[in-house]
Amino acid sequence: YVTIDGKYGKKNLYYYFVTSERNPSKDPLVLWLNGGPGCSSFDGFVYEHGPFNFVAGKPRGSMPTLYLNPYSWSK
């Protein structure tokens, strides 16, 4: 995380860094932020463009199964 000292005191900004699976030293760096109240950027990372996805439809209370996301932005 990164600590920001601003108008409303110190706040921590958490992030996940995923390196490119092709050429990390030459590929661009992307900072993606979700918009809107109640919608965490972590949701987009996990369910949309992160390196992993969850198997949908698991029974309540069970652990999710991860699989590699073939459409990850790290490709």
Q: pLDDT at position 9, please?
A: 92
Confirm if 41 and 32 have CB atoms less than 8 A apart: yes
Amino acid at 4: I
**Whose structure tokens read 């993606």?**
32
- CA distance to 19, 25, 45, 65, per residue, from 58 (Å): 29, 38, 19, 8
pTM for this predicted structure: 0.65
pLDDT digits (tens, 9 = 90+) for 15-70: 889 999 999 999 999 888 876 677 778 888 888 889 988 876 677 778 878 889 99
Domain boundaries, the chain: 2-68
Q: pLDDT at position 68, please?
A: 92
Q: pLDDT at position 27, please?
A: 95
Backbone angles phi, psi at 42, to 5 degrees: -65, -35
CA angle centred on 40, ends 73 and 53, rounded to 5°: 45
